[in-house]
Amino acid sequence: MDDILKKSIQTIFIDNEVKDSEISKSAFKNAGSIPIIYGDFSSLEPSDFKKDCVYLLKYRGRFYKNCPGTKFYNCCGYKILHIGEGCPLNCSYCILKAYFTHNTIKVWANLNDLFSELEEIFNTNRFFRIGTGEFTDSLALESLTNYSSYLIEFLSQFRNVVLELKTKVVDLSWTDVVKDPRLVLPAWSLNAIDIPIKEEIYTAPLEERLNAAERCADMGFRVCLHFDPIIYYPDWERGYSKTIEMIFDYLKPADIAYLSLGSFRGMPHLFKFIEENWPESDYIYHGEFIKGIDGKLRLFRPIRIKQFRFMVNLLRKYGVDKQIYFCMESDEVWKATLGYTPRDLGGLANHLLRLSFAPFQ
């Protein structure tokens, strides 16, 4: 199992209800020295669990969900496959830490229920761009659960579904089961060169992420890159320039299916959470934050635009253009930085769907 996991996970709990699932069997095989406890934990509260544990259980809700983007800003229309919640990577700005006030990482282990639900949804003529990286990192637990491998094997029967795996770790074990690399989009979150060391404790270094992206490109995959959250701190221009330059040491513009930019934002309690738990994370003090129309704190618009423009200009210089989009931004910001709005692209969700399926056209 991955070294990062060994450091961050203390115990694995497996509900009796899912002890025979493929996910639980993988966990049993891969856990190494991490103790596994079987039992009926359904009546327990998250706070009853030990700190830093993984809990495999049956999920009783719908696995396929819309992204919880608000109507006030342009959402990319990402469809979520809800495979679990929580993340072992411990990034200071992570919104999940503020939402889930416990350190239990939940993995929905009832794969059969997930697959039955998806079979019903995907057996149509429609096209889907789906991803597992909304409430967890898509691959952070892969070396324990092999979740993405099972999912990819299952989804390979559908030619109308592209799966995005969004991560900050390097785990390419899932590539072994891919039949058609056009149907999987490995995606790495990136940040300014200074940020991972300070704010993303257990993640892979940027060079390793980009090296993995290059290996994927060599295997015939196109990759996605996400600059989210873009952080405002002294010397941010240098920090983001370095990372953008580095991208093109590893990738060609054509290797990138799409690339998102999202400014750091969050509900006020996220800022309080960072202040209390990450006293060295001073980026929350550098920005001039306003309460946006969705109630979240975000950088003052002219400063956001300045950062976006800087990055867009640099990315365009390297040949990435129509692949760029903003995560949760207003038409005003789109127009001021890219020169057009999602409507000009026929809607952001449609645009990204077209980009996802571009190799088939």
Q: How far is the CB of 332 from another protein (least distance, A)?
A: 5
Residue 261 identity (one-letter amino acid):
L
For tokens 């109630």, name the residue: 295
Please say which residue, 118 or 270, places its beta carbon nearer to another protein: 270
Angstrom distance (rounded) from CA 84 to CA 53: 13
For 295, counting Cβ atoms within 10 Å of its Cβ (0-12 exposed, 13-18 middle, 19+ buried), the class is: exposed
Query: Taking the complex as a whole, how short is the minimal distance between the CB of residue 300 and another protein, in angstroms?
Result: 5
Class of residue 308 by CB neighbours under 10 A (exposed 0-12, middle 13-18, buried 19+): buried
The torsion of the CA quartet 66, 70, 73, 74, rounded to 10 degrees, works out to: 10
What is the smallest separation between the CB atom of 271 and another protein, expressed in angstroms?
10
Q: How far is CA 254 from the centre of its chain?
A: 21
What is the DSSP code (8-state) at residue 329? B
Which CB atom, from 300 or from 360, has the smaller least distance to another protein?
A: 300
Residue 36 or 303: the one with the smaller Cβ distance to another protein is 303
The contact set with another protein (CB under 8 A) reads 282, 285-286, 288, 290-293, 300-303, 305-306, 330, 332, 336
Helix (H) or strand (E) holding 223: strand 223-230
Q: Give 198 or 306: the residue with its C-beta nearer to another protein.
A: 306
**In this complex, which beta carbon is closest to another protein, that of residue 19 or of residue 306?**
306
Shortest Cβ distance from residue 335 to another protein (Å)? Answer: 9
Closer residue to another protein in complex, CB, 285/360? 285
Cβ at position 71, least distance to another protein in Å: 14
Closer to another protein by Cβ: residue 6 or 286: 286
Q: Which residue has the tokens 């406890």?
A: 37
Q: How far is the CB of 268 from another protein (least distance, A)?
A: 11
Dist CA 299 CA 265 (whole Å): 7
Distances (CA, A) of 183 to 128, 158, 159, 322: 10, 9, 7, 20
Two structure tokens written together for 73 = 């800003």
119 Cβ neighbours under 8 A, 6+ residues apart: none
Name the minimum Å distance from CB 239 to another protein: 17
228 three-class SS: strand
Confirm if 100 and 85 have CB atoms less than 8 A apart. yes
Cβ closer to another protein: 185 or 231? 231
Q: Are strands 289-291 and 297-299 parallel, antiparallel or unpaired?
A: antiparallel
Q: How far is the CB of 293 from another protein (least distance, A)?
A: 5
Nearer to another protein, 149 or 337 (CB): 337
Give least dist CB 336 to another protein, A. Answer: 4
Per-residue 3-state assignment (H helix, E strand, C coil) for 296-317: CEEECHHHHHHHHHHHHHHHHH
